[in-house]
Amino acid sequence: MSDKCVLQAEEVSLHILNKAILHQVSFTARRGEVVGVLGPNGAGKTTLLKVLSGQRDSQGLVYWNGRAIGDYTIQALARQVAVVNQINDVVFSVTLQQVVRMGLLPHKSLLSRQTKSDDRLIKQAIKAVGLEEKTQQQFSSLSGGEQQRTLIARALVQRAPLLILDEPVNHLDVYYQHQILQLLHDLASQLDVTVVMSLHDLTLAAQYCDALLLISEGKLVASGSANAVLQPDLLSSVFNIDCHVTQRDGKPSVSFSPKRKPVLDLAGWKP
């Protein structure tokens, strides 16, 4: 991680129908830093990531490498920012390999051909996410976790210095949660890729992220190191559930004590 601050959000706000989805969110990230975006459902995590990746306009400014995101051409931006989103409408039976190959697109002009080194890159990326057995399988037939890993492989092929992921470990089993987060961590530490991702698992976030952003109702309520952000009182009020934070291997570990009160009032309800 270098000291240079490459990603900068300045008072990012977004209103939809007079409702503030994001309210004056400002933060910075350094090159090679892994940033975790935390917050309850509907807090604005996904929207923030979309603004950061230039997929949504907002009030306020986002700078990447000292240049406003909106000033990049669409193809130049794709060479700088790779996005991994959940995909849920695949219409034709495209294969895993074809999806990964799409990552070459920002680096190709209309006339250029696919080279041997492109093929190697695709193969490496598929291997990195552990899917080399399923190269020719249809994307839509893969499990949610495998689709997620395929899209991460596509982002690897895209070779962008900023990687933005919306809940990349959703749908993944414990093994692959750690595997993927370690992969992202390695990308950051070894290749100086800056990673910004939203996560639900607070302990995992503490383990793998260099910095955390905690968002609640569109506002940034805390940011900084895991120890600074994962405060029991703050978490309890943001997530509306009792949180306990203990230290494990120098990192905070979060556990919850739910009130175990019935949520549903089933009196008089007979199926």
Partner 1 sequence: MSRQLLWMTLCIFAVAACGASLLYGAAELSAADVWECLIDNCASPADTLIFWQIRAPRVAVGFLVGVGLAVAGATLQNVTRNSLTDPYLFGVVAGAGLGASVATLLFTESFTAKFGISWSDPETAFSLALPAAAFLGALFSVALVQLLVASALGRRTEHLLLAGVAVSFMLGAFSHFLLFLAEPFAANKVVFWLMGSLARAETWYAWVMLPVVTLSVLILLLFGRQTDALLLGDESARSLGVNVRLLRMISLAICAALTACIVSYCGGIGFVGLMIPHIVRNWLGVTSRTLILGCVLLGGTFMVIVDIFARVALTGQEIPIGIITSAIGSMFFFLAIRQRSQ
Q: Is 108 in the site for partner 1 (CB under 8 A)?
A: yes
In one-letter notation, the amino acid at residue 71 is D
Q: Is 53 in the site for partner 1 (CB under 8 A)?
A: yes
Q: Is the dihedral of CA 125, 130, 135, 140 positive or negative?
A: negative
Q: Is 263 in the site for partner 1 (CB under 8 A)?
A: no
Residue pair 70/47 in contact (Cβ under 8 Å)? The answer is no
Residues 124-183 that bind partner 1 (CB under 8 A): 139, 158
User: Between the CA atoms of 229, 231, 237 and 239, what dihedral angle is there, to the nearest 10 degrees?
Assistant: 60
In one-letter notation, the amino acid at residue 110 is L
Q: Is 91 in the site for partner 1 (CB under 8 A)?
A: yes
**Residue 197 C-beta: closest distance to partner 1, Å:** 15
# binding residues, partner 1 (CB under 8 A):
32
CB-wise, 96 or 238, nearer to partner 1? 96
Neighbour tally for 2: CB within 10 Å: 10
Q: Given candidates 1, 61, 94, 222, which one binds partner 1 under the rule CB under 8 A?
A: 94
Please report the beta strands in 57-153, taking only residues with DSSP state E, as ranges in sequence order. 59-64, 67-68, 81-84
Residue pair 13/23 in contact (Cβ under 8 Å)? The answer is yes
Q: Is 102 in the site for partner 1 (CB under 8 A)?
A: yes
Q: Is 121 in the site for partner 1 (CB under 8 A)?
A: no
CB-wise, 74 or 266, nearer to partner 1? 74
Residue pair 5/33 in contact (Cβ under 8 Å)? The answer is no
Q: Which residues bind partner 1 (CB under 8 A)?
A: 53, 55, 74-79, 81-83, 85, 87, 89-95, 98-99, 102-106, 108, 110-111, 139, 158
